[in-house]
Structure 1
Amino acid sequence: MIPSDHFTRFYNEVFKFLETQGEADLELYWLEISKNQEKHILELIETRGLAGMYQYWSVIKDEENCGLDLDLHEDRLELHMHACPSLAKAMDNDAKPMTRYCDHCAGWIGPIMDKTGYHLVYDAISRTEPRCVMKVFKDPAKAREAEASAQLLMGWPGRKSGEGGR
């Protein structure tokens, strides 16, 4: 098995290669990651909604030992990443992170949220700081309201134009 710090660097290079092949190839790759991740989170969302998402990301918080605050509200889930280990590891590499590195999170999370009727607002804040804010809403109007305050709003494959963007 490849260690996590090597894995992060490896998929950073995969992302860079796919980006040179064209945006469509990169986004297709992220859609495949999304389909794979459904095995881990889809049933939790379908059966437990926001609480299922909270359960899933609580495990990730512990497993990845990241600076992450999770807040479950009646109408939304908020994830505040203060120290993203993935981007930090990609940045701690002489090959540098791919320019759209942070897009891979929205690239796999967004399609799952779309599929389950939730609305993702993914604010990467910056492409060079290992932090972000993700908010998930059931109400699309509340999601649009939250998008207005995003610093660097991430889109994903399949997201309709006018629903935020990159």
Structure 2
Amino acid sequence: MRETVAAPQTGAMTTERPSPPLQGGERETLRAYLDFHRATLAVKCEGLSDEDLRRRSMPPSALTLLGLVRHMAEVERTWFRKVINGEDVPLVWSADGDYQAAYDAGASTRGEAFAAWLAEVEHARRIEREAVSLDVTGYQPRWAAHVSLRLVMHHLCHEYARHNGHADFLREGIDGVTGA
């Protein structure tokens, strides 16, 4: 089941958010919750201009909606491609591996940030679909430990939920829109 969330401004696209199953299996439920949280971030950005998406609505914090989208591209890339799939890929926005660089949206555009984020989401979905089970593991060098795909999916749900809370406040500070 999918919930269609109306865009807050006329002419803007709408995002469909999956409704997690009430009695699904573990993998199906994790997948649906992760997609729900991904869609929620997209909803928070709908109907806004590039300038709005770069707006720091809660000074002195430099956090922006566009910065959150860029950060989540790095998170998806790191946990699915680098950790689970073992790919030797650099970060999208930092040649020296500084995860904080993604938050600096600078002159970034919606098109650039969303293209990178959506590409990483598709890589993540492919990697998860191709994994034989949630018990597949990959090495997380920052933790010096092997972690399961199950942990990665839970971790990303947590990461999105936390940042979607930030996105709620950012969006409200930009144009007063709340909810969804």
Q: TM-score, normalised by structure 1?
A: 0.29
Structure with a larger share of its residues in strand: 1
Which structure has more relative contact order (CA 8 Å, sep 6+)? It is 2
Q: TM-score, normalised by structure 2?
A: 0.28
